[in-house]
Homo-oligomer: A and B are copies of this chain.
Amino acid sequence: MSKAIIQTETTHPTIVKMQEVVASGEEEKIIGLLAEDVEFMPPTYWATWTGRAPVAAVLGHVGQVFQDFEYRRVMGEGNDWALEFQCKVEGLDCVGVDLITLGDDGLIKTFEVVMRPHKTIGALRDAMMARIGKDPRFLEFKKALG
């Protein structure tokens, strides 16, 4: 990743680090930003992944599926942040927002992703199901989805 990092004096260090590691899909780097009981709400369906290991694994796959990923604007302050991005999924255009809540320890407590348009989210869902279906860790991780 050689993309520009968006930050001002008030940007939380975790939000700066997020920009360095999340889009890369580097799971072992992402995991260090997550609270132990982090909750991840994906754009694809109405459910929540809970826990550092499964969420890092899901985010790792997402980072591999997103192509030409770039953050556009970073808005927020304190523990509340919205990171606007653009990317491609299977060649389809996409805009989205990472909605983040940090805990007082600076780790990510909730991570919710909203996107547009409808068609691209469908392509993401298909690509994620294919990847997760081949990742044997999800036999165990699927218990973290509720």
A99 to B120, CA, bound (A): 18
Whether the Cβ atoms of B75 and A82 lie closer than 8 Å is yes
Does A113 count as interface, using CB distance less than 8 angstroms?
yes
User: Which of B76, B119, B120 touches A75 (beta carbons < 8 Å)?
Assistant: B76
> In the complex this chain forms, how many copies of it are found?
2
Which residues of the partner chain B approach A125 to less than 8 Å between Cβ atoms? 118
Knowing that A46-B117, A97-B114 touch, tell me 16 more A-B residue pairs with CB under 8 angstroms.
A41-B95, A41-B116, A43-B115, A43-B116, A43-B118, A45-B119, A46-B119, A73-B99, A75-B75, A75-B76, A75-B77, A76-B76, A95-B99, A113-B116, A114-B116, A118-B121
Q: Measuring CB to CB, which residues of chain A are less than 8 angstroms from any residue of chain B?
A: 41-46, 73, 75-77, 80-82, 84, 92-93, 95-97, 99, 112-122, 125
